[in-house]
Amino acid sequence: MPKINDIEIMELGDMEGEKSSPWSSTIIVVRVTTSDGQVGYGEAPTTMMTLPVLEEVRELSRILKGREVTEIQANRMEIYKHSFYLTVSMETTAALSAIEIACMDAVGKIYGMPVFDMLGGMLNRRVRAYANGWYDGCVEPGEFAKKAKKVAAMGFTGMKFDPFGKAFDSITEKQAAHAKEVVRTVRKAIGDRDIMIECHGRFSSNSAARSCAPLSEFEPLFVEEPVHPDQFEGLRRLRRVLKSPIALGERVLDRNLFLNYLRENLVDVLQPDITNCGGILEAKSIATMAESFGVEIAHHNAFGPIQTAATLNVDVTIPNLLIQESFEMFWPKWKKSLVRSGYSLDDGYFSVSGKPGLGISLDERILEEYKVKGMEPFNQGEPPWVVKGTFK
């Protein structure tokens, strides 16, 4: 069978043109070429770790070059054997994910079948999307409402947003009241469309209770990462007082680490990120495990179009899919143009092409013209995980 002949790493971006968020100003694209000339593409996340991830892809390439590209699970175990910090290093899991996605893309092309058929075939013909990244520059309730109406007019039946301004760890009574008014105004503006409350893992347990519990009256589809991601016991305490469904998972690195949240009944919706949980096969395993607990999946998907294509190839195969995050409509032009085919987003729903592998083709001009080097921009006054212009 074909072997992994080369693993190329490309950092793409527009340091000045990204409007939704600093974390999305760069993406890392991985291109795997096999010994018989087949090509597959993957993508890795970059949030304040662009160069560490890039170097980790190089490190894992030393392990994988020359191995058979179709032996996805054996190759993962080889990395598991050699990479001492894999289960606690997002840089390593991101690198592994990018390479695994690229190998799955190549293998699908070798066998002439889409990745979703390699996972058991299509179950969901369309995937409902919710909008994110739409509220850049919004601070006051009216600003959120005005943009929310535009998002609804695009056909989205759900949208996620962070109403908490610059509150971090703790929240004042004034800040909590402001956040509640933002949510109230958006709910009034968009009617019965679904809203999701983004907390970005910013709060202690007590502060999460003060900020999120009053929002239950607006019936959010879920509240995302309400407590700091390392405060497992804090999440348990919050669970006793928060009526709204809880979602989390973008910073959980494999299925074994997800198990504690499921076993302890601390989560209603899992949000694995296919570009940092280990890739496509691991994401499928997480979804299957969650199904056994009656928990739904809403994959985190905040980076680029290769990630979206990989995520959708899993989405269409799982029975416990809830909804899919989408930044597509709010990307800069270069990112929208990078992938020319593979999936579409129409009236708030995704569909996949069904072509072999991930089903995508890339614009080589974008790969050349938007090459960059270095870390993504840093703003002392605004952390990199917020939507631009909202941490005020």
Domains of the chain: 4-113 (3.30.390.10), 117-361 (3.20.20.120)
- Does 179 score more than 90 pLDDT? yes
Per-residue b or e along 123-147, where b marks 16 or more CB atoms closer than 10 Å to that residue's CB: ebeebbbbbbbbbbebbebebbbeb
Which residue of the set 178, 228, 299, 300 is catalytic? Answer: 300
pLDDT mean across residues, the chain: 96
Average pLDDT (245-270) is 97
List 178, 200, 228, 299, catalytic entry: 200
Structure confidence at residue 20 as a pLDDT band (50, 70, 90) = low
Q: Which long-range contacts (CB under 8 A, 24 or more apart) does 55-64 make?
A: 56/89, 56/91, 56/92, 56/94, 56/95, 57/7, 57/9, 57/28, 57/30, 57/95, 57/98, 57/99, 58/9, 59/95, 60/92, 60/95, 60/96, 60/99, 61/7, 61/99, 64/4, 64/7, 64/99
Reported confidence tier of residue 24, pLDDT bands at 50, 70, 90: confident
The whole-number average pLDDT for the span 209-220 is 97
Residue 370 has phi, psi (to 5 degrees) of -110, 25
Q: Which two tokens stand for residue 151?
A: 């998002």
If you average pLDDT over residues 115-126, what whole number do you get?
A: 98
Residue 19: pLDDT above 90?
no
Percent of the chain surpassing pLDDT 90? 92
CA atoms within 13 A on the CB side of 182: 27
pLDDT at 380 over 90: no
pLDDT tens across 28-78, in order?
999 999 999 999 999 999 888 999 999 999 999 999 999 999 999 999 999
Does residue 21 have a pLDDT over 80? no
200 is catalytic: yes
pLDDT of residue 46: 87
Give the separation between CA 301 and CA 285, rounded to whole angstroms. Answer: 18
Q: Is 228 assigned a catalytic role? A: no
Residue 14 has pLDDT above 90, yes or no: no
Question: Which tokens belong to 244?
Answer: 């709204």
